[in-house]
Chain A
């Protein structure tokens, strides 16, 4: 995958670029907004990571410019700002996701992989399947190996999100934001408890677990490879 990184803090940029390259991505970098814009408009990328505060052309303006040129590549905005409504401003400017610094690299990686996945034509699915676990989005029912699993509405949404990102790491923050729509950090890790309940429902009594914990990052649902 080709990734554009526009970040003016050179050390953060170097770290980001190295990390992404190690994860097997092709990365172009720019340290100011104008260079970033030239790159974004002249080459094809699968995703762009843009810092909010950039010399030359501000990050939000850069995103708006890119969008004005009809470019729809997914954009993740990185921000060291704190304001409560900053996220809203970022998303309004045309960003697809918003991550506040400092971030864990695993969080960033999980998010850009989710963004790149989203880009692929979203076929209207009514059924999700991972291994022998099936989720029917119309009847809102789940089955594993043919037997029905009783899920609470929120558990269903949680499982749906995990299955839509099957094979990808999904972080706790991503779950809190997407499934619960909360943008704050609960003091206790409540998500872990929700996951362990879900795990008890879908994996208990089966030989091959589907819901895996990814150390230092989050969770992943995946059939045995």
Chain B
């Protein structure tokens, strides 16, 4: 159990190396901050007629924050192969997070769904989404407000554990509850 918590915290820490969370809007955010990294060549054509071969690099590196949730509670639900069914042993975990979120109505979680490495990237993104939505539905059934939970997927892109055997795969088929 302690090991699980450490694993969960390690995973959360690893995931924390990136941008702060996105607002849960239904309207697309227009990215007004898009960077033109290069200047057009001096004294020549306007940008629209400039280099058909030019490639301007964009760096998406950002800082990170991770918010706190209920202490001492595991954050990862694991799944069987090809399944998004929440097994009984994870019900208590979900109930604890539901309790926390109902008591702290201003808090938000993003449930991050993952798959093991087998299969195509986009289809696995959709399978991971099924897992995160299963957890989201479970939280909402326990009374958590819809606006407090967003379900996303990383598909097979962010395995918790490297390796190509069932031990690794079992640890990668998961949904993580991340407070943002």
Chains A and B come from one and the same complex: no
Q: Which residues of A contact B (CB under 8 A)?
A: none
Q: Which residues of B contact A (CB under 8 A)?
A: none
